[in-house]
Amino acid sequence: MIRRTFTKLLAGATLATGLMGTSALAQDDPVRIALVVKALGIGFFEAAAKGAEEAAADLGNTEIIYTGPTDTTAEAQIQVINSLIAQGVDAIAVSANDPDALVPVLKKAMQRGITVISWDSGVAPEGRQMHLNPSSNPLIGNMIIKLAADELPDGGKVALLSATTTSTNQNIWIDEMKKVMGDYPGIELVATVYGDDLADKSYREAQGLMQKYPDLDAIIAPTSVGIVAAAQAVVDAGKVGQVNVTGLGLPSEMAGAIDSGASKSFAIWNPIDLGYSATMIAHALASGDATAEPGAEIPMGRMGSVTLDDDNAGAMADPFVYDSSNIDDFKSIF
Amino acid sequence: MTTLHDTAPGRQIPDRLQSPLQRRLKSWETLLLLVAIGIFVANSFASPYFLNAWNLSDATFNFTEKAMIAFAMALLIISGEIDLSVAAIIALASTAMGAAMTAGAATPMILLVGIGTGLACGAFNGVLVTRFGLPSIVVTIGTMSLFRGISYIVLGDQAFRGYPSDFAFFGQGYVFWVISFELVLFAVLAVIYAVVLHLTNFGRAVYAIGNNATGAEFSGIRVARVKFILFLLTGLMSGIAAICLTSRLGSTRPSIAFGWELEVVTMVVLGGVNILGGSGSIPGVVIAAFVMGLVTFGLGLLNVPGIVMSIVIGALLIGVIALPRLWSKWRAA
């Protein structure tokens, strides 16, 4: 027993050294891609895993290992990644609990020939080959005004309900939106108010907008707190059908607003597409069909392709639009 | 386990009920060792990736840092006290090291800051318990929030990163082939603690205090001083663990090592230390560390979800503690 163990141990070690630094995949062996999430049991990530399985079915001969820790700590995620390195998976696609703490273990994974990418929540550049953002600031800025304009073919007045005046993301998206206002003639931005991402303050600000601008046509709230509060304010004011609430929100929280008609449509990333794209990219990199370098275009199956910037990061797509046709499918997911 | 069964009418009480060999065979450590071997064999059959030197080496990182603290914690629990602030001490020590690093300190200075913070935290706990006579469980629940709270105030949602490259050795370096620095440190500390607990007067004093603190006091043992030293040691080990963990992560966040105190206590109890004090051994804790490491790593290789792992560890703990008692009851009946 002891002797056998020892020889196996030695054999294993030589095998490991032999494989180090190469990513050659033996033919017919399935490509094993690990989708590592922040924590198991979260609807958003379960949906991403569904997308990953879909990608695996499209690719063929691909095995998805959907895994993650029980709680959202970096230490627990490192333990998970260590066991994936031990299994010699071909690729790891991770949504990180900590952008820095995962770097050493992911570096080790890359040294042993494993393709490493991050998606959703990124890792510092030295710890991954590329990062897939769900969307990009210009795409989001364009999407929020487009959603409002699509319902207003003859033009109209819109107002913005943001979070805080110092919220970096919000301000970037609003700036990007203002840049493309010219593409939507007839749409006039009358005011920008701040609800501080508090439900009651956002509600009062939305009420104030409707009182100050009785002919207001739409409220754009690129925040998941603000959009729900604004929709409630519109319902309570009896202005459903006159004022359309749109922006960025979560399907589970917005299902009521879509049902009542206070919101015709809103947008947010689609976790299924995200899991699908991450898997497609991981497969392309692991099998050598693509290389992660600035400027590279990496194919993502039905999602088109992603172009990498100087940090080897790329944006997947426009935010996904949710309306009465698909809200029921997504409201139970996230 | 020298429980006295009903003695014969003559009331002749033998020195030993069992021969030393018999006693060793029936000891907790032997049972644990069998469990560890069983898990090892089961793992090698369950996963083709288990018996690989590098993989086994990686697996040791799952427990080495916690086990270092578990050694000092074992002594503390044997003496009848407990320290629940150990994970928070790691957070504070790591934060202090990060601050020192940001201020331009080189690696030796960073190490000193980590160890110094650990010692200071341990001394703080020790003074509160021994000088003011407060129950250690209450004191350390308080300092658990206090120490980590300071880290949160300093860092908020930020992180210290950019530790010097030679600092990485302590959590990522290898001394020889697959033998990591952490594993060597773990082994050296295990020997030191085993010697201190089992072969020195200090070790005997720890047992004496745990069995009967008043009796120990009257026997000339300076109970308060021994307990203070034990808190100091626990703080020191937390500081050393903080160095290893910070080096392994290459960064500091205030949530570092969150929830580790319970895993450390689990390791100590699984190792056969009586949670009420008075008995236990370092070899037991060492084997328990391997058992926990092997179980989590083996299940990880099978991609078993973390929640199932927690259930298995819990079942293992209850099982290993309950089985010997059920066994002796069944034999007595």
Residues with pLDDT less than 50, chain A:
1-26
pLDDT, position A315: 85
Give the mean pLDDT of B38-54. 88
Q: Do B257 and B90 contact (CB within 8 A), yes or no?
A: yes
Selecting from A67, A86, A100 the residue whose C-beta is nearest the C-beta of B58 gives A86
- Phi/psi at B126 (nearest 5 deg)? -60, -45
- Residue type (1 letter), A181: M
CA distance A89 to chain B (A): 11
CB contact under 8 A, B52 and A16: yes
Q: How high is the pLDDT of residue B18?
A: 66
Q: Compute the average pLDDT of residues B309-313.
A: 84
Query: In this predicted structure, which of A117-121, B19-23, B316-320 has the lowest mean pLDDT?
Result: B19-23
Q: What is the nearest CA distance from A78 to chain B, expressed in angstroms? A: 9
Are A40 and B307 inside 8 Å of each other by CB?
Answer: yes
Q: Do A83 and B257 touch (CB under 8 A)?
A: no
CA A58 to chain centre: 21
Residue A32: strand, helix, or coil? strand
**Measured between CA atoms, how close is A184 to chain B, in angstroms?**
39
Reply yes or no on whether the pLDDT at B36 is more than 60.
Answer: yes
Task: Inform me whether the C-beta atom of residue A103 falls under 8 Å from chain B C-beta atoms.
Answer: yes
DSSP A222: -
Q: Which residues contact B205 (CB under 8 A, 6 or more apart)?
A: B216, B221, B226
The residues spanned by each domain of chain B are: 54-302
Taking a contact as any Cβ pair under 8 Å apart, which residues of chain B between 164 and 203 contact chain A?
168, 171-172, 178
Total-model pTM: 0.78
* Residue from B1, B292, B53, B283 nearest B178 by CA: B53
Burial zone of A192 (CB within 10 Å; 0-12 exposed, 13-18 middle, 19+ buried): middle
Residues B107-166 have pLDDT tens digits of 999 999 999 999 999 999 999 999 999 999 999 999 999 999 999 999 987 889 889 999
Mind listing the domains of chain A with CATH numbers? 24-134+271-317 (3.40.50.2300), 137-268 (3.40.50.2300)
Task: Specify the residue for token string 């080897």.
Answer: A312
Contact B62, A86 (CB under 8 A): no
pLDDT band at B6 (very low <50, low <70, confident <90, very high): low
Across B187-208, average pLDDT: 96
Give pLDDT, residue B25.
Answer: 67
- The pLDDT confidence band at residue B11, using thresholds 50, 70 and 90, is low
- Position B220 scores a pLDDT of 92
Closest CA to B257 of A108, A76, A83: A76
CA distances from A101 to A35, A96, B272, B301 (A): 18, 9, 34, 22
Q: A80 to chain B: which residues are within 8 Å by CB? A: 300, 306
Residue A104 is nearest to which of B56, B172, B297, comparing CB atoms? B172
Contacting residues of B for A83, CB less than 8 Å apart: 297, 300-301, 303
In the prediction, which pLDDT does A220 show? Answer: 95
B59-115 residue pLDDT tens: 898 899 999 999 999 999 999 999 999 999 999 999 999 999 999 999 999 999 999
The whole-angstrom separation of Cα A145 and Cα A147 is 5
d(CA B13, CA A73): 55
- Looking at residue A248, the DSSP 8-state letter turns out to be B
Supply the CATH classification number for the domain B54-302: 1.10.3470
The ipTM is 0.78
C-alpha B102 chain-centroid distance:
30
CA gap B288, B272 in Å, rounded: 8
Residues within 8 A of B (CB atoms), A 59-78 only:
65, 67-71, 73-76, 78
Q: How many CB atoms lie within 10 A of CB B168?
A: 15
Identify all chain A residues contacting B55, using CB atoms and an 8 Å cutoff. Answer: 12, 16, 85-86
